[in-house]
Structure 1
């Protein structure tokens, strides 16, 4: 791999011609505007957004600086997290993670396969607040760059928002399959992107992506950030899918559950799923002790 551009950049900033641009949530530009051997810089601050680099040439550097909620006194987060999801047609560049000046290949340019493109893998990583983290996009040499587009979506997260089971944490080896305790169940009911009561109708496994997809038949949708669960016909039930890591070994079974979790690149990911009767017991005990963080309409 040719990393001479990065070595020059990291070793001596004055030897590289850089242009600076504060981005909003999404960044879209052409590599044809870059001078040969230059590195263009931008900042990604939003909780989520996208990058689209047309006709890659030269190099890009995106500093990752998640915003903290304004005017809300919060402790410094223990960890910052980011997830990158490349477009299915990602080409023309390689993506590197820079952490404290060290470079790690995060996403190589896919090799031409001739077959249909699979569902893109999500790459997640974390860092401490005082660490300097950036993404480098280095264009790979091609005679014809007219059809090359290096595009990806990103999510930036911190743990200052009170969420106890962010998608990254639930995808990690430590927290993916761990059952939620009573405190986490109550907080999840108040802060999750979706809260639905229902049953498991099927479970499908994707060995390539190492994911299980749980088909949910919901009898009540308490909250959903996006339209994840849709009503079908005249049925009072809504149908939708929730994802979990394949390693959790989820299997279909009887019973009514309260499914709670977060939206991750447009997909619903499971945070907590207590049986509904168990949730009622925990919630009613919290009300009796005046320790319920929010109100849920029980039936």
Structure 2
């Protein structure tokens, strides 16, 4: 079995000698598994150079080694997170550091239900090593396996799952300095109101349903415009989206307009600073008069 072969350093080096490299774009890779009849010790290898992207393995073979070599100007400590696709069952996930393998997720678990994270300090960066278990006779073959990955920089103390990273967020209101930095550095900045709040005890998170009158910017498409012609497209907020926050913060629906800021991970928005919009205007204008603003913000 491949698992038995990679438990020693000598055997692991043999696998690398027998491996073959695959080309990819800088961020994403899609490829096929090793063909039938080829030496099962061959490890398919992929090199990716971005801080986020995706891997899609069609007809997965015995093993895949994903080498992350992001183009970064520093080697600060970081957290690497992967979000498995729903078809990820039966795949064991290892992290390779200097020739040794550490088991991150056994193949009999359900990693597709959560995000897997591990610490990375590079260069050299840890590699993600995937081992596909045998498919049962008579069962439908798993035709595609994949995951998305993100590199979270500068967080040495972050715990091993993305939900827990979210739980590290402070529930206290941001002070003025933090607020001014948030509007400059956040993945999203929107102006809107809270329509509803729901809670997920399993993930220990709360989710805010937000109607936004203005999206100043966002890194991806977390906040979407309302469909034209729908009842919700009447005059008023024209964007909607969901923002996650730790359950321990005990967020509740509130009246009035807020300025929501935060980070985005795997298509989910996580709350950062969220002052009432009138309070933000006062802080920003006061800082502007004292020439203390870190960036220009488009006031209405």
TM over 0.5: yes
Distance 2:173 2:94 in 1: 34
TM-superposed CA distance for 1:259, in Å, is: 0.2
Cα-to-partner distance string for 1:257-293 (whole Å, 9 max, x where unaligned): 2101232212222222122233223212221221212
Give RMSD over aligned pairs. Answer: 3.1
CA shift for structure 1 position 51: 1.2
Task: Name the SS for the 1:260 alignment partner.
Answer: strand
Assess if the C-alpha contact under 8 Å between 2:169 and 2:246 holds in 1.
no
1:135 corresponds to 2:128:
yes
Q: Which residue of 1 aligns with 2:249?
A: 248
1:100 deviates by 4.4
Indicate yes or no: 2:185 matched with 1:185. no
Q: What corresponds to 1:28 in structure 2?
A: 30
Q: Deviations over 1:205-243 (max 9, x none)?
A: 122333321011223222233341423312320322111
- Out of 101, 108, 113, the residue aligned to residue 120 of structure 1 is 113
Equivalent residue number for residue 82 of structure 1? 80
In the alignment, the residues of structure 1 paired with residue 2 and residue 12 of structure 2 have an alpha-carbon distance, to the nearest angstrom, of 17
Q: 1:204 aligns with which of 192, 198, 201?
A: 198
The alignment status of 1:220 with 2:210, answered yes or no, reads no
* Partner in structure 2 of residue 71 of structure 1: none
TM norm structure 1: 0.80
Aligned to 1:154: 149
- Distance in 2 between residues matched to 1:5 and 1:216, nearest whole Å: 51
Unpaired runs of 5+ residues, structure 1, are 69-73, 113-117, 161-166
Q: Say which SS state the counterpart of residue 168 (structure 2) adopts.
A: coil
Displacement of 1:251 = 2.0
CA distance in 2, matches of 1:182, 1:99: 42
* Secondary structure of 2:286's aligned partner: helix
Matched, 1:174 2:168: yes
Alpha-carbon distance between aligned partners in 1 of 2:268 and 2:166, rounded to the nearest angstrom: 17
* Distance in 2 (alpha carbons) for counterparts of 1:170 and 1:179: 20
**1:202: how far off?**
0.8
Shift of 1:37: 1.5
Closer, same or farther: CA 240–41 of 1 in aligned 2, 3 Å? same
Alignment check: 8 A CA contact 2:262 2:273 kept: yes
